[in-house]
Amino acid sequence: MKLRYQFIFYIALGAILFHACSTKKDAFVNRNWHALNTKYNTLYNGGIAFEKGRETLNEAYRDNYWEILPVERMEVTEEIKLDSEDNNPNFVIAEEKATKAIQKHSMEIGGIERNPQTDEAFLLLGKARYFDQRYIPALEAFNYILRKYTESDKLNEATIWREKTNIRLENEELALRNLKRLLKYESLRDQEYADARAMMAQAYINLNIPDTAIQQLKIAAAYTGKKPEKGRYYYIIGQLYDQLGYRDSANYAFNKVIDLKRSSPRIYYVNAQLQQIENTETSPGNREELLEQLTRMEENRENRPYLGKIFHRLGEYHMAYGQDSLAIAYYNRSLRDINGSSQLNALNYERLAEYHFDKSQYPLAGAYYDSVLTNLPENTKKFRAFRKKRENLQEVVSYEAQVAYADSVIGLYNMSLDDRLAYFGTHIAGLKAAAEAREKEESQKQAAGFAQFGSTKGGKENQGKFYFYNITSLGYGKNEFRNKWGDRELEDNWRWSNKNKVLGSDDAADISQADQPGAGEIIPEEQLYSLDYYMDRVPRDPAVIDSLERERNFANYQLGLIYKEKFGEFMLAAAKLEKVLNSSPEDRLVLPSKYNLYKIYEQTSPALAEAMKQRIISEHPASRYAELLLNPRAILVGDKDSPEARYTALYELFEQQEYLRTITGAEENINQYTGEPIVAKFELLKANAIGRLQGFEQFKEALNYVALNYPNLPEGRKAQEIVAEQLPKLEPREFTSEDIPGGQGNWKVVFPFRRSKHATALELKGRLENSIKELNYSNKVSMDIYDLEKEFVVVHGFKSRDFALGYVELLKINRDYRIDFENFVILSDNYKTIQVHKNLADYQQFISTPKP
């Protein structure tokens, strides 16, 4: 009997549960059944996944404290996502749970939602999409809540999230209007009020209205109940005050962050202290106090994750007081910190680059600028600025190396024999001493390492047994190896006898020789300590020294212009140009050097400027510089004698295929305007004319000259681009087979003429144009220069070989034309090849050779 009643009970309970699962009945059991399942099953699990996703984002996100922090901690990529591919799996799970809750437990009956948890599901859905940066779908979810659930207690929260999404979509004005309406008409809880004000602050920050953003953040900080948010808001307020230049107000805000102590994340606390120190004007009165504060921060164990920033601030402190060595040491310690961000590393490298540049240590400064670039995101204004600095510096480094090399070689050449022997003897003695010191240091390190191992259990057990554990045997073996083989690198084929020793840049600089300057010159090991080796490398030919002197003078001249125009270092520029004038320069450098010195002295010393002006007028009265000094308005850009006008005239000659006149005119102007930026334009025009007239190899050589000598000017960069991208496409000399089925392709008819028959070629061009017009063809006719002796009259645009041959035959037999000049039909690709490589003879042999 008892079993019967239990059976009936379970059947009744099952029936009740079955009917409760229905989403179409508005009954008490149905509503509560689905509400409980939504809240404590799907939404509960979805909420757990959502919080895990947020924790993952917070752990991975790194704030950039060198810029204004965003109100919300969230890493944003540039792209706007529309689907859930490649997204955070926790947010994908949260979205799936929210979707499941909506699909399985929504009870929309008579247009009204009967499940009170459905709005929660839509809110979770929107949040998951928001943090996955799928803002458009997130906006749809929040808008659905606001439109559908007008009685929901989540309306205010949904509104705030919707406006956060609008701000992410750069709709700040719309977000501000909606948030102001929310604050005006709705009663908000304290946290909701704080969130709304914080989002308004973010909108004002994006719109670059910092003063209004500060007011909104102050209200948000006052109402929020979350201490980490309060600390972040106060820190951003301090940053905004710094941006406005109100340091005292900024320090007050940073002090609010410091007062929170452990209630707020440690990183806000440390950065607030550092910002306060940066904003404090240093003086003899507070110098020790600031150093003591920074030292305490450095020694505090809790600050270990932030030592990179503390070291950087210590570097700034010591640099401000002229303690260069300490500053550099702290910058390097900051760079070695494993927690350092790319922004911090870029700042440290920037400081080191500027320091070494000011000390005229240009190669080292260039290396540091390279490191700055590797730590900055590309396609940013800051990256482009530093890249420009690096490009300018590269030219300085190159010319300074040329000057140093030439000075050292010329100095050795001018030494007496005894002085030269003494110089190289000192150098060799230094190399030997350095090698002995390195060997001794290496032996001491190895002995210390084996001694330390010998005191261990394994070392004691194997003492005297295994060769490498016996220090005496090991030392004997090492000495024997070194005596037999010398110092060898740990690498394959170490027994080869032609091993070389690589010298560092300092050694290479000391050993002045006739090779190219630079670090890392390779010297055979057996000659490293040979006096004869160095003596034999000193140039003896006066012509070599004359060439070096000319290169040095030109390099000093270029350095003078760079320091004057690009860096504004007038004293350095004047020193370089004075060196040019005092070193018996070529005539082409004398007048430009004097004129540039005059322009420098105008900025620094009016008396010297007037003296140089009179010197130019008296010593070079017929020059354009003298005319310019006597009458500054005499030479205008539009004047026929101006460099720009001359370039324009030469370019017109180039377009008229007057390539020889273009080349000779460019050379004349290059000599006249040496040192001026327009020279690079003449050089590039000359290179193009050489290519059109002489062919590929000469064009390549001329372009390389422009690229190497003007690397930082637009023309030099253009030449580099042509060499890298276009020349490889033009280099092949092979001809394309003209045995095309049906003769289809792009063909030309070419009439070759000697340049002495130019009038005849010109007459033929006119007759050909008339024939094309009368025959209603669409072909074009041109006259193309081949070389100094030949030119072509070319009819372009035949779609097949037979069509081209038919046209030639028509010209020959038609009584109206009777054109019977020598000609040949050629495929367009092959015509391009003979024009690029000037290999017409090779083409004629190619077409006359029988094909297999």
DSSP code per residue over 827-846:
EHHHHHHHHHH--HHHHHHH
Dihedral, 208, 213, 214, 216 alpha carbons, nearest 10: 180
Strand partners, 780: 796
Per the domain annotation, does 779 fall within a domain?
yes
Show contacts of 786-789: CB within 8 Å, 24+ apart: 786/752, 786/834, 786/835, 786/838, 786/840, 787/693, 787/694, 787/695, 787/838, 788/660, 788/693, 788/755, 789/754, 789/755
State the CATH number of the domain containing residue 380.
Answer: 1.25.40
> Do 564 and 614 lie in a common domain?
yes
Where is the domain boundary, 686, 704, 730?
Answer: 730
> Do 600 and 689 lie in a common domain?
no
Strand partners, 270: none
Lowest-pLDDT range of 351-355, 524-528, 594-598: 524-528
> Do 530 and 673 lie in a common domain?
no
> Do 143 and 42 lie in a common domain?
yes
**Band (179; pLDDT cuts 50, 70, 90):** very high
For 775-810, letters b (16+ CB in 10 Å) and e give: eeeebebebbbbeeeebbbbbbbbeebebbeebbee
Helices vs strands, H then E, count in the chain = 39, 8
Q: Are 710 and 562 in contact (CB under 8 A)?
A: no
pLDDT(78) > 70: no
Note the maximum CA span of the chain: 136
pLDDT(114) > 60: no
Q: Show the domain range for 505.
A: 417-453+462-486+501-540
Give residue 815's pLDDT.
Answer: 79
Give residue 638's pLDDT.
Answer: 46
> Do 694 and 780 lie in a common domain?
no
Give the percent of the chain with pLDDT over 90: 24
Mean pLDDT, residues 185-213 taken together: 92
Give residue 120's pLDDT.
Answer: 73
> Do 6 and 107 lie in a common domain?
yes
Per the domain annotation, does 156 fall within a domain?
yes
Report the domain count for the chain: 6
> Do 28 and 107 lie in a common domain?
yes
Give residue 723's pLDDT.
Answer: 87
pLDDT(338) > 50: yes
Write out pLDDT tens, residues 687-717: 999 999 899 999 998 888 888 777 667 888 8
Give residue 508's pLDDT.
Answer: 32
Mean pLDDT, residues 748-762 taken together: 90
Where is the domain boundary, 608, 630, 652?
Answer: 630
What is the pLDDT of the chain when averaged over all its residues?
A: 80
Per the domain annotation, does 272 fall within a domain?
no
Please state the separation of Cα 804 from the chain's center in Å. Answer: 52
Mean pLDDT, residues 496-522 taken together: 39
Give residue 173's pLDDT.
Answer: 94
> Do 548 and 520 lie in a common domain?
no
Where is the domain boundary, 702, 730, 758?
Answer: 730
Please name which of 753, 749, 726 lies closest in space to residue 831, comparing C-alpha atoms: 749
Mean pLDDT, residues 332-350 taken together: 88
Q: Are 762 and 753 in contact (CB under 8 A)?
A: no
State the CATH number of the domain containing residue 840.
Answer: 3.30.70
pLDDT(518) > 50: no
Cα separation, 181 vs 162, whole angstroms: 13
Q: According to the 3-state scheme, what is the secondary structure of 585-647?
A: CCHHHHHHHHHHHHHHHHHHCHHHHHHHHHHHHHHCCCCHHHHHHHCCCCCCCCCCCCHHHHH
Give residue 216's pLDDT.
Answer: 94
Per the domain annotation, does 285 fall within a domain?
no
Per the domain annotation, does 436 fall within a domain?
yes
> Do 512 and 550 lie in a common domain?
no
Cα separation, 720 vs 712, whole angstroms: 10
> Do 750 and 839 lie in a common domain?
yes
**Band (270; pLDDT cuts 50, 70, 90):** very high
Give residue 417's pLDDT.
Answer: 87
Give residue 438's pLDDT.
Answer: 79
pLDDT(391) > 80: no
Q: Are 685 and 663 in contact (CB under 8 A)?
A: no
This prediction's pTM: 0.58
> Do 683 and 793 lie in a common domain?
no
> Do 71 and 165 lie in a common domain?
yes
Per the domain annotation, does 725 fall within a domain?
yes
Which residue has 């390779």 as its token pair? 522
Cα separation, 449 vs 451, whole angstroms: 5
Write out pLDDT tens, residues 310-335: 999 999 999 988 888 999 999 999 99
Give residue 6's pLDDT.
Answer: 58
Per the domain annotation, does 335 fall within a domain?
yes
Per the domain annotation, does 291 fall within a domain?
no
Mean pLDDT, residues 10-18 taken together: 49
Which residue has 């006739």 as its token pair? 514
Phi, psi of 398 (to 5 degrees): -65, -50
pLDDT(411) > 70: yes
